[in-house]
Chain A
């Protein structure tokens, strides 16, 4: 029973991070049909922003907010500079652009900071744990669950209550119609990138403080995770990606527990095989969203 509860807690904690990762990727995909390969680098940006701000001994909250803002700003900048000009071209042009943006950001970190890992100062309280009825609750895990829950709720309210949020969801349904109603495409897309960047920022802060260091390639793993969660959960709905994230978190923790060590090395190969199988057999994902093939010109 205790092991089971422990398992649930770990799965919940990892799953919430994965869900946010997936959500940040799918919010842009839903509108532009673009898999933003540069998404992982936004997480990296958040990490380096934290690293850059940590010197003077500012409060942790300030570092976190700064990191989130940095990721959001960079995300919007990439949209303005790189993606907007190719938006009306082929899907492949956008995909390659995102690949180029990813390479650009990653190598900028190499160039401007260092190829080597930079340690980030983590609030020591995060490494503590609370004993509770024989259960070890890591403060880290608790914070993660609470923060992710709060972000999900806030995002839900934004998308349901504000006009811009409603427009964002409408854009995933039928972008052409949204523009006919006078909503500027540029504004909606920029908003999507801003939200994606902010989510990447939150994920970045949680991820980096878990690892304790930031490197130029720190975003690669989260990108792959988000990609899997999105494909498995369904690329046409926000709910699907959240489900996909929690599912993947549970699966990862489960495999870690039950798989023998020598097979564990191939874990990612198994998971990506699942991705291909889902794409082939159930392209709409496990959670069916609304089909929309239209792209924005």
Chain B
């Protein structure tokens, strides 16, 4: 009993959010409002994406633009693997035979999608991990462009820049929510793992981390691969929810939304990432509702386009100026004591806890 109490105590923040999101999922399901269900499903998928990004960005301190590219890789991989053979030959007549003839069930397709995204990240990401902060950010941006070009030009596999139709709908609110809960736990556990600790030590003081014998490049790389897998998974889930999409979905606009969620919430903490998703989704949907109402009411002589993004971008700029660390900056929300470790000390803390 005491033991159980201890587990609850040390995981209070994680359990809090697991409970909260389970509650949101069940409540939405019971409400039976299709629009709500749709919004919450997308929110769950965005949550997975943001957490995937947080695993790398939050713990390493590196900015990454490429992760939406991994989402795209996951989406196309899973779509191709799980599409019925007949639909596939209609949508992609020039597809390679070995891909054209297979049809996997949902779960293996999704897992393979995560694996493919992880593989791409592992192979092409390794050299990036050795770069300095700003060079790595630019390189990750270059990588996003490359993935985008390949997705939109490799017509045999992706139908080029055009929309790919005929993906089966497997993802519903409950699947998305279940995966989101799993990934919440993964993000918390990763942050607290030896690996996460080493990575955070390298973020706070790179020299100290090296002097403690931490192989910073490898640690960073592993986190990058794990986070790519999570984003690939999110892409796969999204593909089987939306069922028809084009490469443009995995580019700058989506990157902006996901980065906003993470930065507004606070990239250094898992609870920050989670709160960021909730807050931005609420604002985003609210604004979109206003925009739609304006457009359908006909009270304005022109169509309102881009208002949501304008206000969201303005909010992000204000947020960065006023509270650059995000809503939840250091201590995890709901933890027994939200203790903050000064940068100079955390390397030692990591060393002690890692040894």
- Which residue numbers of A lie inside 8 Å of B, CB to CB? 33, 35, 81-82, 85-86, 89-93, 95-97, 99-101, 103-104, 106-111, 115, 216, 220, 224, 227, 231, 265-266, 268-269, 272-273, 275-276, 279-280, 283
A223→B307 CA distance, assembly (Å): 24
| Chain B residues closer than 8 Å to A93, beta-carbon distance | 263, 320, 324
User: Is A276 a contact of B306 with CB atoms below 8 Å?
Assistant: no
CB<8 Å pairs between A and B, sample of 25: A82-B317, A85-B320, A85-B321, A86-B324, A89-B324, A91-B133, A92-B61, A96-B316, A97-B317, A103-B312, A106-B306, A107-B309, A107-B310, A107-B313, A108-B310, A216-B306, A268-B146, A269-B145, A269-B146, A272-B142, A276-B127, A276-B143, A279-B135, A280-B127, A280-B130
The answer to whether A35 and B146 touch across the interface, beta carbons within 8 angstroms, is no
Residue of B nearest to A112 (CB): B306
User: B288: shortest Cβ distance to chain A, in Å?
Assistant: 13
Interface assignment of B131: CB less than 8 Å from any CB of chain A = yes
In the bound complex, do residue A279 and residue B149 qualify as a contact, i.e. CB atoms below 8 Å apart?
no
Q: Which residue of A lies closest to B267 (CB)?
A: A92
Q: Is the CB of A279 within 8 A of B138?
A: yes
A94 nearest in chain B by CB position:
B320
- The residues of A that contact B259 with a CB separation of less than 8 Å are 96, 99
Interface of A is mostly: helix
How would residues 116 to 140 of chain B score, 1 for a CB under 8 Å from any chain A CB and 0 otherwise? 0000000000011011111101110
Residue of A82, A96, A104, A227 near B310 (CB, 8 A) is: A104
Bound form: Cα–Cα A192–B161 in Å: 38
- Does the CB pair A272–B137 fall under 8 Å? no
Q: Please pick, from A95, A104, A268, the residue contacting B63 in the complex, using a CB distance under 8 A.
A: A95
Q: Are A107 and B127 touching (Cβ within 8 A)?
A: no
Q: List the 4 shortest-distance A-B pairs measured between CB atoms, nearest first.
A: A110-B306, A85-B321, A107-B306, A104-B313
Q: Are A227 and B131 in contact (CB under 8 A)?
A: no
Is the contact region of chain B dominated by helix, strand, or loop, or is it mixed?
helix
Tell me whether A227 and B138 are in contact (CB under 8 A).
yes
Contact assessment for A86 and B134 in the assembled complex, using a CB-CB cutoff below 8 Å: no
Segment 48-65 of B: residues with Cβ below 8 Å from A: 61-63
Report B210-242 residues with CB < 8 Å from chain A CB: none
Please determine whether A101 and B320 come into contact, CB atoms closer than 8 angstroms: no
Check B137–A224 contact: CB distance below 8 A.
no
- Contact A227 B141, beta carbon cutoff 8 Å: yes
Contact-residue size bin, chain B (C-beta under 8 Å from the other chain): 35 or more
A266, closest chain B residue (CB): B153
Residue B349, interface by CB 8 Å: no
Residue of A nearest to B126 (CB): A280
Compute how far the CA of A108 lies from the CA of B135 in the bound complex, rounded to whole angstroms. 30
Contacts of B27 in A (CB 8 A): none
Question: For residue A96, which residues in chain B have a CB less than 8 angstroms away from its CB?
Answer: 63, 259, 263, 316, 320
Asked whether any CB of chain A lies closer than 8 Å to the CB of B314, the reply is: yes
Which residue in chain B gives the minimum CB-CB distance to A220?
A: B252
CB distance from A113 to the nearest CB of B (A): 10
- Judge whether A35 and B137 touch: CB under 8 Å: yes
* Cβ A272 vs Cβ B149 within 8 A: yes
- With A99-B259, A101-B317, A280-B128 as contacts: A92 and B146 at CB distance below 8 Å: no
Q: Check B260 for interface membership: any CB of A closer than 8 A.
A: yes
Q: How far is the CA of A86 from the CA of B324 in the complex (A)?
A: 8
Given the known A-B contacts A107-B309, A272-B146, are A283 and B135 also in contact in the complex, defined by CB atoms under 8 Å?
yes
Per the bound structure, the CA–CA distance linking A106 and B132 in Å amounts to 29
Known contacts A107-B306, A276-B139: does B145 contact A268 (CB below 8 Å)? yes
| 8 A Cβ contacts from B132-177 to A | 132-135, 137-139, 141-143, 145-146, 149-150, 153
B290 CB → nearest A CB, Å? 13
Bound-complex Cα distance A268 to B141 (A): 13
User: How far apart are the CA atoms of A86 and B322 in the complex, in Å?
Assistant: 9
Given A95-B63, A280-B131, do A103 and B309 touch, yes or no (CB 8 Å)?
Answer: yes
Which of B131, B253, B310 gathers the greatest number of chain A CB atoms within 10 Å? Answer: B310
**Min C-beta distance of A145 to chain B, whole Å:** 28
Residues on A with C-beta less than 8 A from B153 are 265-266, 269
Closest to A231 in B: B138
Q: Which of B197-211 contact A (CB under 8 A)?
A: none
- Say if the beta carbon of B256 comes within 8 Å of chain A: yes
What is the bound-complex CA distance between A224 and B148, given in angstroms? 13
Tell me whether A100 and B128 are in contact (CB under 8 A). no
Most central of A82, A272, A280 by chain B CB within 10 Å: A272
A95 to B317 Cα, complex, angstroms: 11
Residues of A within 8 A of B139 (CB): 275-276, 279-280
Asked whether A103 lies within 8 Å of B142 as measured between CB atoms, the reply is no
Chain A residue contacts of B306, Cβ below 8 A = 106-111, 115, 216
